[in-house]
Amino acid sequence: YAHPARDLRPERHPLSVVAHRGASEDAPEHTLAAYRKAIEDGADALECDVRLTADGHLVCVHDRRVNRTSNGRGAVSSLELADLATLDFGSWKADVSDREAPDLDATSVLTLERLLELVADAGRRVELAIETKHPTRWAGQVEQKLLELLGRFGLAGPPSDDGPSPVRVMSFSARSLHRVQLAAPALPTVYLMQFVSPRHRDGRLPAGVRIAGPSIRIIRKDPGYVARLHDAGNEVHVWTVNEPEDVELCARLGVDALITNRPRRVLTQLGRS
C-alpha cells in the first residue's frame, strides 16, 4: 500500500531546534534576554505564547495571570500594557535582581512587536512559532491582532523568497487555527496536543493543518505516532524536549522540529555546535 499523502511532503529537512519561551533554562522565560540568548545559541526558531492586554496589545506571557513570572498579580487580560511595564518579569528566576545594574532586557514585559523586531534584526533566518493562548475567550481578537501585526512586518502573506514561511501559528484550539487559516491562508498552523483524541489517532489533523504538535509524553508512549502523522502528510513538532534521551528518541524517529528550553545543549547533542 502506497501512502499518497506522503508524497506531498517536501524533501526531508534537518531536525529544527525551537527555543521554548526563548532559552528559558538560562534566562527568564519570554524576556528579550531569553530570546537574544536563543538566537546567539543558534536556535532555528523561537517559540512564544501570546496574550492580549486589556488595552489590546499582544504580549509574550504564558500563564493567564502574571503572578508566577512577575512581581505583580492579576490576569494579563485585566491589565494594560503600561501596568505590565511597571512589573519585574525577571527576578523570580535566579539572581537577576542581585545585579548592580538590573538588565531591563531580562526583567521587562516583552511585546510581540518587540520580538518581531528582534527577529528582523537577527542577521540570519530565525523562525517564529507563535502560540495563541485561550483564544476562545476573545472571539477572534487575538488572531486578528496577531495577523495585523504580522502583516505590518510582511509576515502574514506568502514568503517573498518562495521558501517556507518563517512564521507558524500554534494552538491547542482547532478553532483558533481555523480563524488563522481563513484570514491568512499562507501561514502554516500547528495543532498542539496534550493527549491524542480518537479522531486524530490515525495521524489525521483538523482540516487545513499540516503540522502536529504532540507532547513528548505522547511520543514516549506511542513512538509509532510519528510515522502515522508523517504518513498522513504532516510534519511533527514535539514539545517540550529537554532530556537527552528524549532528544535522541525524537532524532531517531525523524521528527521535524523539537521545542526545548535548552537550545544550546540540544544543538550540541545533535552535533550542530
- Of 51 and 265, which has the nearer Cβ to ligand G3P? 51
- DSSP H helical segments within the chain, as ranges? 32-41, 81-85, 112-120, 141-152, 174-183, 216-221, 224-231, 244-253, 263-269
Which grid cell sits at 185?
491562508
Which grid cell sits at 101?
545594574
Residue 37 interacting partner from Ca ion, ligand G3P, none (CB closer than 5 to 8 Å by kind): none
Query: Nearest Cα to 109, choosing from 50, 153, 42?
Result: 50
- Whole-angstrom distance, CA of residue 5 vs CA of residue 51: 35
Site for ligand G3P in 173-192 (CB under 6 A): 192
Residue 192 interacting partner from ligand G3P, Ca ion, none (CB closer than 5 to 8 Å by kind): ligand G3P
Shortest distance (Å) from residue 50 CB to ligand G3P: 11
Query: Nearest Cα to 129, choosing from 115, 142, 109, 140?
Result: 115
Tell me: does residue 259 bind ligand G3P (CB under 6 A).
yes
Tell me: does residue 131 bind ligand G3P (CB under 6 A).
yes
Shortest distance (Å) from residue 69 CB to ligand G3P: 12
User: Total residues contacting ligand G3P (rule CB under 6 A)?
Assistant: 9
Residue 235 interacting partner from Ca ion, ligand G3P, none (CB closer than 5 to 8 Å by kind): none
Tell me: does residue 127 bind ligand G3P (CB under 6 A).
no
Residue 259 interacting partner from ligand G3P, Ca ion, none (CB closer than 5 to 8 Å by kind): ligand G3P
237 part of the active site = no
Shortest distance (Å) from residue 239 CB to ligand G3P: 4
Provide the strand spans (E) within 3-54: 16-20, 45-52
- Of 44 and 49, which has the nearer Cβ to ligand G3P? 49
Site for ligand G3P in 65-124 (CB under 6 A): none
- Whole-angstrom distance, CA of residue 34 vs CA of residue 94: 13
- Of 20 and 93, which has the nearer Cβ to ligand G3P? 20
Catalytic residue among 57, 62, 134, 237: 62
What is the helix, strand, coil percentage profile of the chain, to 5?
35, 20, 45
Tell me: does residue 29 bind ligand G3P (CB under 6 A).
no
Buried b (16+ CB within 10 A) or exposed e, 205-237: beeebbbbbbbbebbeeeeebbebbbbbbbbbb
Binding site for Ca ion (CB under 5 A): 49, 131
Site for ligand G3P in 31-50 (CB under 6 A): 47, 49
Q: Given the DSSP bridges, would you call strands 58-60 and 45-52 parallel, antiparallel or unpaired?
A: antiparallel
- Whole-angstrom distance, CA of residue 260 vs CA of residue 22: 9
Tell me: does residue 239 bind ligand G3P (CB under 6 A).
yes
Shortest distance (Å) from residue 238 CB to ligand G3P: 9
Q: Which residue's Cβ has the minimum distance to Ca ion?
A: 131
> Which residues are known to be catalytic?
20, 62
Contact residues toward ligand G3P (CB under 6 A) are 20, 47, 49, 62, 131, 192, 213, 239, 259
